[in-house]
Structure 1
Amino acid sequence: MENQAPVASFPRLNEAAPAFKANTTHGVKSLEDYRGKWLILFSHPADFTPVCTTEFIAFAKAAPKFAQMNCDLLGLSIDSLYSHLAWTLNIKEKFGVEIPFPIIDDIKMEVASAYGMVHPGAADTQAVRATFIIDPEGILRAMVYYPMSNGRSIDEFVRLLTALQTSDKHGVATPEAWVPGQDVIVPPPKTSEAADNRPNEGYNTVDWYYSTKSL
């Protein structure tokens, strides 16, 4: 029994992200270290694997864009610190890309289990491709899971973070595939009187529950 992997739990949106304190390639990091910033915490199945290598290169290239958006990056796999260091040095040597963000050493699967990154149907000792967006207050705002066989789109996480920040700032929602410059969705009215008055409020109103506006 003592060799069994920890039972995976699954955090929930709009609740506090699970706290952690862990060794990383940039020293000890905790969730509290990222207070006041957005954080993208993402897991990969293993170091020295081809799909993960493409993802890390893409995250590294997008790191300046995330930094402009007040967002840090933090990777994780169930590998040792030495494996992470060797892999990042290999990426620099073979691909000419430096990995600027920390990677958590999670051999004991403590962080992976707290975040529900271990799915026994996929592998008992590897983390699936999970991505968590945590806001400056430490609240989990989005989570996305990918299979081990297919890489993520880092551009989509840039888009999603932009949409989340826009919704927070303006109190609006965003439609499918929204990008800056497109109209946003106005929250629907909550009373009969407000619904009756919606067409007179100056929005682009299709019906009482669907109105958009430009920012």
Structure 2
Amino acid sequence: MTLRIGDTAPNFTIDTTQGSIEFHDWAKGSWVFFFSHPADYTPVCTTEMGRTAQLAPEFEKRNVKPLGLSTDTVEAHKGWINDVNDTQNTLLEFPIVADKDLEVAQLYDMIHPNESATATVRSVFIIDPNQKVRLIMTYPMTVGRNFNEILRVIDALQTTDRDEVACPADWLPGDSVIIRPTVSDEEAKEKFPQGWKTLRPYLRLTDIK
């Protein structure tokens, strides 16, 4: 199955390190950072799981629930978590899906045969509280994810939803945003009373709190 931005994230029921979950019910009302890793007890994956755990306060303040996945068993996950905590100096408390039958991996197109026929690549899905897929990223097995970018894009998505704006290249919280071209100048006067800078008729920058 090929997922696209704007699709409803497929539902599933499966075992995790925190018991069985029904995904839509578990995620209800929250954003979700859903990500896969190739295998437990491997070096890059260990650093990624540790970094996710270290960033727990950052995810929480953004109303984001992390959810990991690999095709290992619950027992393997639980044993490996001890290694993650020890080597990454953290406490991993989010659930990790045990997708030993590749059910969810196939549902979310996490198996790329030219990488592996049985292990998942490093997929990222940012899913909003309406259970819509808002961002998809895929990393190869040998390259760890950039967690600054993951947090940045969550901030950008939440900002664009809240203020009906767009975010320019390399945007960070506090930077100017773009008034959408679909918003007329008259409408912009009401939405953005602080004013804006016009670089081109289609490129208007404004500052928001």
TM norm structure 2 = 0.92
1:153 maps onto 2:146 in alignment: yes
Correspondence for 1:75 among 68, 76, 81: 68
Distance in 1 of aligned mates of 2:86 and 2:197: 53
> 1:195: how far off?
7.7
Larger radius of gyration: 1
AA in 2 matched with 1:170: D
In the TM superposition, what is the alpha-carbon distance from 1:94 to its structure 2 partner? 3.8
The Cα of 1:196 is off from its aligned counterpart by 11
Say whether residues 1:177 and 2:170 are aligned partners. Answer: yes
What letter matches 2:62 in structure 1? M
CA contact 2:50–2:85 (8 Å) conserved in 1: no
Question: Which residue of structure 2 aligns with residue 6 of structure 1?
Answer: none
Q: Does 1:39 align with 2:66?
A: no
Does residue 26 in structure 1 map to residue 34 in structure 2?
A: no
The alignment-based identity, stated in percent, is: 39
For the 8 Å contact 1:78–1:126, the answer to whether it is kept is yes
How far is the alpha carbon of 1:132 from its aligned partner? 0.3
| 1:1-215 correspondence to structure 2 within 5 Å | 9-32=1-24, 33-189=26-182, 194=184, 202-215=195-208
Deviation of the 1:31 alpha carbon: 1.8
Q: Could you tell me how far apart the structure 1 residues matched to 2:18 and 2:46 are?
A: 19
SS in structure 2 at match of 1:67? helix
> Partner letter of residue 103 of structure 2?
E
Go from structure 1 to structure 2 and tell me whether the alpha carbon gap of 1:195 and 1:65 turns closer, same or farther (over 3 Å shift): closer
**What is the Cα-based RMSD across aligned positions, in Å?**
1.9
Q: Could you report, residue by residue, the CA deviation over 1:155-202 in whole angstroms, capped at 9, with x for unpaired residues?
A: 111111000000000000001111111100101147xxx58998xx94
Contact 1:189 1:195 in 2 (8 A): no
SS of 2:134 mapped into structure 1: strand
Alpha-carbon displacement from aligned partner over 1:32-85 (angstroms, at most 9, x marks no partner): 211110001000000000011111111111111100111100000011111101
Q: Supply the AA of the counterpart residue of 1:15.
A: D
Q: How many residue pairs were aligned?
A: 203
Question: TM-score normalized by structure 1?
Answer: 0.89
